[in-house]
Amino acid sequence: MNQTLIEISPSHTSSRPFICEITEGLRKHLGLSKYLQSLKINCGMHTVTCPVVLINEEHLSLSLTTNILDELYLPNHTFTLQAKQIDSAQIRLGPIIGVLTEIRTKQELSFGSIHDFCQELARYCHKNGCLLYIFSLKMYNKDHMTGYCFSDNKWIKISVPYPDVVHNRIHSRKLELSKAFLSVTTDFIENKIPYFNDRFLNKWEVHQILSASEHLIPYLPDSQLLESKATLEQMLHEKKDVFIKPINGSQGKRIFRVIEKDDQSYLLDFTTFSGEINKQYESFYQLFSSLYPRLKREGFLVQETINLKKYEHNTLDFRFLCHKKDQQNWKVSSSVARVSGDNQFVANLARGGSIFQIKDLLNKLYGEKDSLQLRKLLAELSLEIVEVICIQAGGEFGEFGIDLALDEEGKPWIIEVNTKPSKSEDDPKKGKVRPSARAIINYCLFLYNQK
């Protein structure tokens, strides 16, 4: 089956509203019949069959009347798209890539934290013959899709074809558990439309999956689901220093750190909680009484604190972005070192952290030779983690953010796994498309070509 990048342009033939003009060069390139009289065109879930006029030119071009473009829900201007030959008189145009996320339209259009990233996706799609649009659950209508396409350096809302592939970038766990999300994803499944990343994975779910793999246990801090006061008391008694993390948390929010001192008093630190809360308690009872109102509304886990390597006295960790290349293989697309802000015990950028080139920072801490070995070890561990999760978690995943750290002896530890990683850790140079954007579209292309 031949596939190629072609130019599609509006035809201004008024006398014949349903006719397409195809160059001889494109006909040959796609392997269409030399006696071609009509052409069947598929795009998304839409199909048009129209008479053909062959143009004796060698460039790869297809002209469609406004009526045909409207039937296929394609833009009424010149653009590039990939074309596949289905048989001697039929082609498929695509891929049509949808990005599902929350969209705000009050004051100005915004796709939230991935707004700039979506522009990168769109620019890369333009170069590679893909039609990309952004849509929300509220905009979904399988009979008449609308979405935001990037054209002339701005987002415009237009009718679009039903997607061939969908990248799920909904940020709200609540929205992802809604009836609307279930209804939309059920439609995707019924219409055999692949979508990724399938869903959020909470911290406890990830811990259970990883701890079931014997070779990963040495890299996991001891963790327990906080089901009772006794769980916290026992962990503090054993470890003396623990984190309390929301299982559905992100960006370093709502994390506590508790230290049990030799005199059995307790020190408490926290990231983003507001209201009156002390930092020192004389008894476990006082500590838990203060914590309980903040812990009862959602699930938390208790995790031992590892004595991690620091950089200039600040917390240091590493974010590895991993992307799926095909049915089984993953790659590390980018990696950065993150250093916490002053007086912070998490290194997230959302909490005032800074990013550094991982090579430069590890060279400073360990020297070039050991730095190279550590970078390889961290990258290999990241890939091990995503492969295990993909096998055990179910669903389709194409992107993970893996947060790792090193202890004082240089041993790696698994800090967190993100199914929808932030796009602020690997900010691109101006006008550039970062590796993670290219990797996402390349995976969309892979899924499209598997259909």
Q: What is the pLDDT of residues 110-161, one digit of tens each?
A: 999 999 999 999 999 999 999 999 999 999 999 999 999 999 999 999 999 9
Please tell me the predicted confidence (pLDDT) of residue 263.
86
Query: What tokens appear for 341 in the block?
Result: 């802000």
Q: pLDDT tens digits, residue range 363-414?
A: 999 999 999 999 999 999 999 999 999 999 988 999 999 999 999 999 999 9
C-alpha to C-alpha distances, 196 to 85, 122, 329, nearest whole angstrom: 27, 18, 16
Residue with tokens 């809604």: 178
State the pLDDT confidence band at 346, using cuts at 50, 70 and 90: low
Mean pLDDT of 76-104: 96
Residue 191 pLDDT > 60: yes
- The answer to whether residue 208 sits within a structural domain is no
pLDDT in tens, 212-239: 999 999 999 999 999 999 999 999 999 9
Q: Which amino acid is at 28?
A: K
pLDDT at 343: 62
d(CA 395, CA 294): 32
Q: Do residue 300 and residue 334 come from a single domain?
A: no
Q: Does residue 445 lie in a domain region?
A: no
Q: Which tokens in the block code for residue 120?
A: 């990168």
Residue 163 per-residue DSSP state: P
- Co-location of 121 and 43 in the same domain: no
Domain that holds residue 142: 96-194
Neighbour-count burial of 177, counting CB atoms closer than 10 A to its CB (0-12 exposed, 13-18 middle, 19+ buried): exposed
Res 127: pLDDT: 93
Q: What is the tens place of the pLDDT at every residue in 353-373?
A: 788 999 999 999 999 999 999
User: In the predicted model, what is the mean pLDDT of the chain?
Assistant: 91
Q: In this structure, are 235 and 297 located in the same domain?
A: yes
Q: What is the mean pLDDT of residues 37-42?
A: 96
Nearest to 234, CA basis, from 211, 258, 202: 258
For residue 229, the tally of other CB atoms under 10 A from its CB is 15
Query: How many independent structural domains does the chain possess?
Result: 4
Better-predicted residue by pLDDT, 31 or 251: 31
In a domain, residue 38? The reply is yes
Of 140, 175, 194, which marks where a domain is finished?
A: 194
Please identify, among 54, 79, 94, the residue that sits at the C-terminal boundary of a domain. Answer: 94
Share of residues in the chain with pLDDT > 70 (%): 93
Structural contact between residues 427 and 319, judged by C-beta atoms closer than 8 angstroms: no
Q: Please report whether residue 443 resides in a domain.
A: no
State whether 23 and 90 are in the same domain.
yes
Compute the average pLDDT of residues 58-72.
95
Based on the domain organization, do 100 and 84 belong to the same domain? no
Signed CA dihedral, 201, 135, 443, 350: sign only = negative
> Do 173 and 259 belong together in one domain?
no
What confidence tens digit (pLDDT) does each residue in 269-324 have? Answer: 887 655 556 688 999 999 999 899 888 778 999 999 999 999 988 889 999 999 99
Residue 396 in domain:
yes
Whether residue 437 is contained in a domain is answered as no
Q: What are the structure tokens assigned to 142, written together?
A: 């399988």
In terms of domains, do 293 and 394 share one? Answer: no
* Among candidate residues 404, 327, 322, 420, the one with its CA nearest the CA of residue 362: 404
* End-to-end Cα separation, the chain, in angstroms: 13
Residue 424's pLDDT is: 72
Helix (H) or strand (E) holding 338: strand 330-339
Domain contains 253: yes
pLDDT in tens, 193-206: 999 998 999 999 99
- Rounded CA separation 95/105 (Å): 27
pLDDT of residue 342 exceeding 70: no
pLDDT of res. 350: 57
The verdict on residue 213 lying in a domain is no
User: Which amino acid belongs to residue 247?
Assistant: I
Residue 251 pLDDT more than 60? yes
State whether 187 and 247 are in the same domain.
no
Give the three-state DSSP class for 307.
Answer: coil
Residues 131 and 165 in one domain: yes
- Residue 13: per-residue pLDDT: 67
Tell me, what's the pLDDT at 383?
Answer: 98
Residues 103 and 114 in one domain: yes
CA dist., res. 317 & res. 309, Å (int): 9
Quick one: angle between helices 358-366 and 368-393, nearest 10?
Answer: 130
The token pair at 334 is: 């980018």
pLDDT at 430: 66
Say whether both 184 and 254 belong to one domain.
no
Asked if residue 413 and residue 402 are part of one domain, the reply reads yes
- Does the pLDDT of residue 427 top 90, yes or no? no
Report residue 447 as tokens: 């899924």
Given a cut of 70, whether residue 344 has pLDDT beyond it is: no
Q: Of the residues 94, 120, 149, which one is the last residue of a structural domain?
A: 94
3 state SS of 389 = helix
pLDDT band at 264 (very low <50, low <70, confident <90, very high): confident
- Please state whether beta strands 20-23 and 3-11 pair in parallel, antiparallel, or not at all (unpaired): unpaired
Q: Are 351 and 314 in contact (CB under 8 A)?
A: no
Give the pLDDT confidence score for residue 221 in this predicted structure. Answer: 97
Q: Which of 300, 331, 44, 305 lies closest to 188 in space, CA to CA?
A: 44
CATH number of the CATH domain containing 377: 3.30.470.20
